[in-house]
Amino acid sequence: MRKKILVSFGPVISTFTPTFVRNASTTASFFSQRFDSYFQPNSRDRVYACNRDIEAHMKHGSIESALKLFDEMPIRDIITWNILISGCKRNGFSREALYYYGQMVSQGFVESSSTFSTVLGMFSDEGLHQEGLQVHSRVVVLGLSLNMYVGSALIDLYMNMGLVNFALRLFNDLPERNVATWNQLLRGFGEFGISHKLELYFRMKREGVVPNQLTFCYLIRGFGNERFANEGKELHSYAIKMGWAESDVFVSNSLVDFYCACGSLIDAKRSFQVIPTEDVISWNSLVSIYAYNGLASNALEIFSMMQVWGKKPSIRSFVGMLNLSSGNVNILLGKQVHCFVLKLGFDHGNSYIQSALIDMYGKCGEIESSVSIYENVPRRTLEVCNSLMTSFAWCGIVEDVIELFGLMVDEAIGFDEVSLSTTVNAMSKSSCASLKSCKLLHTCAVKSGFDLNHAVSCSLINSYSRLGHVKSCCQVFEQLSSPNVICFTSIISAHSRNKMGMECLKLLEVMINEGLKPDKVTFLCVLTACNYSGMVQEGKMVFDSMKSVHGIDPDRQHFACMVDLLGHRGLLEEAERLLKQAQFNNDSLIWSSLLRHCRTHQNETVGRRITQIVTKLEPENPAVWLHTSNFIGNWQERCNWKYI
C-alpha cells in the first residue's frame, strides 16, 4: 500500500524540486548528528522542544529557519512531520508540503488524523483528485475513516470532485460532526445544490447543531440565489438574535446581498443602513437592485458614494446603470456613467459594458455615438453586434440593420434569435421588402435551426403578412409545437391585417381553448378584423367578453373600433350608448368619428346630440367648430330643401 502511494506521487514530486531543499553538506551533517543523538538520554524531550521551535518559526513565516531546524533534528516523530507539512501548507508552499508528505511515508512514519486532514485538504485544493483517492484508501487501512477531522477533509475532497452524493454518504457515516463539518458540506454545495442546502439547513436544526457566522453566510447566499425569501428571513432573525446582523461585517453584507437578490428593496436598504459605511462590501448589489427597479436617483447616490469611498463598481453595476439610462432615455445619466467607465478603464475588452453603452446611446437616439463605440471595440462579439443592430432598429434605420446582418454572416460572427428576428422585422419595413427577401431569411432561419424560436417565428409571420402571404404565415405558425400568447397574437394579427375576420375569431377560440390568456393587443387585432369584415354581432360579443370574461378594460382603440363597426352599419344610438358609458367619453376624436357616421347615414336626431357633445368637449378648438358647423349647415340646407 505504502509503495503504491509513492509511485503515484511520481508526477507531483519528480517534476518538482523544493526551493529550499537542503544541499549535500547539510544532509551529511544531518546523518552525523543523528548518529550522535541516539546516545543522548533525554532525546524525547529534545524532540518535543525542537517541534515547538519549528512550529514557532512556521507561525512567523520563517520557513527557512524551520527547515534548518528540521534538518538538524536527529530524531523526529510524527508531530514533527505534521508541523512541517501543515506549516508549509499554511505558508502557501503546498507542493513542498506534499513533497515532505512523500518523504514522511517513505521513511516509514504512519500518518495521524491531522496529517490526513492537512494532506487531503491540499490534494483537494490543488485538484489532485487521483492522489486524494489513494490517500483515502490509506485512511481506510489505518482505520481513521470515522474520525471527524479526516472525514471533513474527505467530504471536501469528494465535493470538489463533484461527487456530491458520495460526500453526503461519508457525512452521514460520521458518528459525530461539528459545525465545521457542516460548513464544509454547505460550502461544497456552493451555488448549485440549493435543494440540498435547504434540506441540510432543516436537518441541522433538527440535530440541534448551532450554526456560526460562516454557516449563516453559506446558507443565506444560497437562499438569495434561489429567492427563498421566507427561509432567508428566518435566518435573518436568528442572526439578529445572535447579534451578528450588526456586529459581523460578512453577515451584514450577505444580508444586503440576500435581500437584493430577492428583490426586496426596503429590507436591502434597511440592512445596508446598519453597516458602517467603511465596512460595506455589498455596494454593487445595492446599485444593481436600485437600477433594476428603475430608481435612478438612489442608484446614482450609492454609485457616487462608492466613488467617495474608493470602491470600484462592478460590471454588473455599470450595466445596470446604463440599462437604467436607456430605460429612462436619460442621456445625461448615461454620459456620466460612460465617463466613469472611461475613467476606470472598463471600456476596453468587456463586451457587456460595450453592449450596454451602444444600447444606451441607441435608445437615447444618439446613434452616431453607438456607431463610434462599436467601431472602437477591439473584438466584435455577437452581443456587441446585436446591441448595435437593435439600436439601428430602435432608431428606425432599417437598411443598416440589414447591412449589419450581412456583415455578421460574412465575418463569421454568427447570429442568434435576436439578430435574426430584428433583421426579419427590419426587412419587412424596408424599401427592399419582397417575398424573395423574406423567403431568404426564412431559409436562413431554418438552416440555423432558429425557425422554431418564438421571436423569429413571430417576426416571420409579421413579415409574410405585410406582404399578404397569409399562407406562409400559417406554415410558420403550424411548425411551432407550443405557441405562446405572442405567437397567437401574431398569427391573429396576420389574418386581421389581411381582413380575414372569421379566421381571427377561430384562432381566438383555439387560443382560449389552449388555456392561453389573450391580451389587449390580441383583442384589438380581432376587433379590427371584425370592423373590416363588417361582423357586427361577433364584434359585439368579443368586445363584451373582454371585460366580463377576461377582465380586460378596453382601451381607446378598442372603442374606436367598435364605434366604426357600429356606426358603419347605422347602429348610431348603440354606438352613442357605448361611448357614453366608456371612460373615454371625453375623447372628442372618437365622438367626431361617430359624428361622421351620423352624416353618412343622414341621421339628424343622433347627429345633433353628438354635435353638442363634441362642441362642449372642445369649445376652444376651431377645427371642431368648423367641422360641426359644416355638418349642421348641411342639415339645415337639406331641411330647407325638404320644406321647399
Question: Shortest approach of ligand NAG to residue 206 CB, angstroms?
Answer: 39
Q: What size, in residues, is the chain?
A: 644
Q: Which of 360, 606, 610, 613 binds ligand NAG (CB under 6 A)?
A: 606
Using the rule CB under 6 A, is 185 a contact of ligand NAG? no
Contact 587, 553 (CB under 8 A): no
Contact 287, 279 (CB under 8 A): no
d(CA 169, CA 438): 59
d(CA 574, CA 582): 13
Q: Which of 137, 443, 586, 612 binds ligand NAG (CB under 6 A)?
A: 586
Q: Which of 583, 600, 629, 636 binds ligand NAG (CB under 6 A)?
A: 583
- Range in contact with ligand NAG (rule: CB under 6 A) among 209-217, 248-256, 488-496, 600-608: 600-608
Contact 325, 331 (CB under 8 A): yes
Q: Which of 605, 622, 641, 643 binds ligand NAG (CB under 6 A)?
A: 605
CA 278, distance to chain mean position in Å, is 28
- Comparing CB distances to ligand NAG, the nearer of 135 and 562 is 562
Q: Which of 222, 423, 564, 578 binds ligand NAG (CB under 6 A)?
A: 564
Using the rule CB under 6 A, is 513 a contact of ligand NAG? no
DSSP state, 153? H
Give Cβ neighbours of residue 268 (< 8 Å, ≥ 6 apart).
256, 259, 260, 285, 286, 289
Question: Shortest approach of ligand NAG to residue 322 CB, angstroms?
Answer: 9
Other Cβ atoms less than 10 A from the Cβ of 431: the count is 7
- Going from the C-alpha of 64 to that of each of 97, 221, 614, 633, the distances in angstroms are 14, 41, 97, 111
Closest C-alpha among 538, 515, 534 to residue 523? 538
Surface-to-core class of residue 68, CB atoms within 10 Å of its CB (0-12 exposed, 13-18 middle, 19+ buried):
middle
Q: Which of 603, 608, 609, 625 binds ligand NAG (CB under 6 A)?
A: 603
**CB-based closest residue to ligand NAG:** 327
Give Cβ neighbours of residue 223 (< 8 Å, ≥ 6 apart).
194, 197, 198, 229, 231, 232, 235, 258
Question: Shortest approach of ligand NAG to residue 319 CB, angstroms?
Answer: 6
Question: Shortest approach of ligand NAG to residue 376 CB, angstroms?
Answer: 22
- Comparing CB distances to ligand NAG, the nearer of 109 and 352 is 352
- Range in contact with ligand NAG (rule: CB under 6 A) among 32-40, 296-304, 434-442, 557-565: 557-565
d(CA 436, CA 428): 11
Question: Shortest approach of ligand NAG to residue 302 CB, angstroms?
Answer: 16
Residues in region 410-439 near ligand NAG by CB under 6 A: none
Using the rule CB under 6 A, is 561 a contact of ligand NAG? yes
Q: Which of 331, 398, 572, 614 binds ligand NAG (CB under 6 A)?
A: 572
- Range in contact with ligand NAG (rule: CB under 6 A) among 122-130, 142-150, 463-471, 598-606: 598-606
Residues in region 198-257 near ligand NAG by CB under 6 A: none
Using the rule CB under 6 A, is 531 a contact of ligand NAG? yes
Q: Which of 327, 382, 383, 474 binds ligand NAG (CB under 6 A)?
A: 327
Contact 354, 347 (CB under 8 A): yes
Angle (CA) 393 397 401, round 5°: 60
d(CA 471, CA 616): 49
Cell 354635435: give the residue.
611
Question: Shortest approach of ligand NAG to residue 539 CB, angstroms?
Answer: 10
Compute how many residues bind ligand NAG; rule: CB under 6 A: 21
- Going from the C-alpha of 119 to that of each of 89, 92, 160, the distances in angstroms are 9, 13, 15
- Comparing CB distances to ligand NAG, the nearer of 256 and 572 is 572
Q: Which of 36, 45, 64, 573 binds ligand NAG (CB under 6 A)?
A: 573
Residues in region 288-307 near ligand NAG by CB under 6 A: 292
Contact 423, 441 (CB under 8 A): yes
- Range in contact with ligand NAG (rule: CB under 6 A) among 88-96, 185-193, 455-463, 568-576: 568-576
- Range in contact with ligand NAG (rule: CB under 6 A) among 254-262, 337-345, 462-470, 581-589: 581-589
SS3 call for 99: helix
- Comparing CB distances to ligand NAG, the nearer of 103 and 498 is 498
Q: Which of 86, 118, 147, 323 binds ligand NAG (CB under 6 A)?
A: 323
DSSP state, 110? P
Name the site residues for ligand NAG (rule: CB under 6 A).
292, 319-320, 323, 327, 528, 531-532, 560-561, 564, 571-573, 583, 586-587, 603-606
